Amino acid sequence: LTLLKNTAHNAERKLLKHTGRDEWLLEPVLAAFEGFFGRLKQEFYHDQDHQDQRIDEFIDDLDDYLVWYRDERIKTQYGTSIRRHRQQLGLMA
């Protein structure tokens, strides 16, 4: 969980550092980060007990979740998975 928070925080700091005064331009990006990491914590982290896992097992589980999130989870805005939506737009093979 700390790793996820630090990753989001570092990404946010790097983006803000590059924009200077134009921080307001990043609000939608930061909202998307917060939404994704909040969903990740809710669906992946809080519903499972990771206390007895080794770090490599945790990383494998996280990787499996991220693949599921992209390839299978239905996004209501699109009515399909993110991967399928990108394929329909020709952005992904």
How much is the pLDDT for 93? Answer: 83
Can you tell me the distance from the alpha carbon of 15 to that of 27, in angstroms, rounded to the nearest whole number? 11
With residue 91 as reference, give the H or E element that holds it: none
How much is the pLDDT for 48? Answer: 80
Quick one: residue 90, left, alpha or beta (phi over 0 = left, psi -120 to 50 = alpha)? left
- Report residue 6 CA to chain centroid gap: 13
Confidence grade of residue 2 (pLDDT, cut at 50, 70, 90):
low
How much is the pLDDT for 28? Answer: 82
Is the pLDDT at 16 greater than 90? The verdict is no
Is the pLDDT at 13 greater than 80? The verdict is no
Is the pLDDT at 77 greater than 90? The verdict is no
- CA angle, 78 then 81 then 83, to 5°: 110
Within 6-75, strands assigned E span 74-75
Say if residues 82 and 68 touch (Cβ distance below 8 Å): no
**How much is the pTM?**
0.62
Residue 36's SS3 state is helix
Between 68 and 14, the more confident residue is 68
